[in-house]
Structure 1
Amino acid sequence: MTSLLIALHVLAAVLLMGPVMITVSTYQGQMMKAKDGDAKALGAATTLHRLTSQYGPLSVIVPILGLALFLTNMSVFGTQGRFHVSILLSVIAWVILVALIIPRQKKSLAALESGDSSVDFADHKKKLSMFGGIFNLLWVVTAILMFL
């Protein structure tokens, strides 16, 4: 059972977190190009947001599988603090994604699509870059902790 959970956990991390980490990192650049009237960039920003908002919430599977793995083999995983920290960091990253990144992307994309020029896209870019960087850093640290 442990081997199956490890395989599912790693597979979910690769298939879900990889694309989300990339879309979170590249959305801001396309948003800024779209702000200047680039129709292709608007299409790219729309696609990136769609991927983030669909894969992002599904990525909760990664910490859930990690927690299931942790709980099924407490004698091995329960005594190592790195697994406690990893679960905590992945949950924090997921909350940042769902509570901060996805709503900001949605708001900026709505402004782009409606042509609302009152939106401060530079501020959106800064905040999305900051939260995206924190999100990605938390996942990188979590991945490193898995292999120590």
Structure 2
Amino acid sequence: MSHFFVFLHVVTAILFIGPVAVTTSMFAPTYRKAKGGDAGAAGQLRLLHRISRLYGMISLVVPVLGLILLFGFGEGKGEYGFHIATLLSIIAWAVLLFLVIPSQRRGLVAANALEAGDNPFTDEAAKARTNTTKLPGQLAMFAGIFNLLWFVTAILMFV
């Protein structure tokens, strides 16, 4: 039974974390294009944000399956690499939820990439328009932290 959960854990990591890693990395360059006047970039920003948000929420399955393996089946109980990897995956998910996705939302507002009626938060819109100079760097930095945490997690799983 534990082999089935290991299989699910690995497959969900590939299918759900992979797209999030790619879309979070693509958001900052696409944001720069949208702010530079590229008309198609606004639609790309919406799509990248939607994928990051949806797959990011679904990717919570990966650390949950890891915890089930760790505590339910005792897989790797004596190996501290698994404990650290599980902790890092939870931290990575929190970085995505609390830093990456809100920064992307501010980027959408700042690039006027939201459609009418899609932004009920006028305070957020005003805040995003006033502080957009650091936003591309923050978007890239948060995506890099998220991806680095997952990279280290993957290494710890196989060491």
Q: Provide the TM-score with structure 1 as the length reference.
A: 0.93
1:93-119 CA distance string (max 9 Å, x none): 000000011011011102212697934
Pairs within 5 Å for 1:96-111: 96-111=95-110
Q: Deviations over 1:64-104 (max 9, x none)?
A: 00010111222x41100001000000000000000011011
The correspondence for 1:121, drawn from 125, 132, 153, is 132
Given that 2:100 and 2:142 are in contact with CA atoms closer than 8 Å, whether structure 1 keeps it comes out as yes
1:84–1:113 distance in 2 versus 1, CA, 3 Å: same
The residue type paired with residue 143 of structure 1 is A
Structure 1 residue aligned with 2:13: 13
Shift in Å, 1:130:
1.0
Hey, what does 2:68 align to over in structure 1? Answer: 68
Deviates more, 1:116-125 or 1:46-55: 116-125
Indicate whether 1:140 and 2:151 are aligned: yes
Unmatched 5+ stretches in structure 2: 115-124
What's the CA shift string for 1:19-74, capped at 9, x where partnerless?
Answer: 00000101000011101221111111111011001111111100000010111222
Q: In structure 2, what residue type is equivalent to 1:146?
A: M
The amino acid that maps onto 1:103 is: P
- Structure 1 unaligned regions, length at least 5: none
Q: How does 1:76-87 map to 2 (within 5 A)?
A: 76-87=75-86
**Contact preservation (8 Å) 1:32, 1:121:** no
Measure the CA separation in 2 of the matches of 1:136 and 1:101. Answer: 11
State the shift of 1:131 in Å: 1.1
Contact 1:96 1:131 in 2 (8 A): yes
In 2, Cα distance between equivalents of 1:40 and 1:114? 10
TM-score, length of structure 2 as denominator length: 0.87
> Matched residue of 2:129: which SS?
coil
- Report matched runs for 1:83-94 at 5 Å: 83-94=82-93
Instruction: Please say if 1:40 is aligned against 2:51.
Output: no
Aligned-residue Cα RMSD (Å) equals 1.7
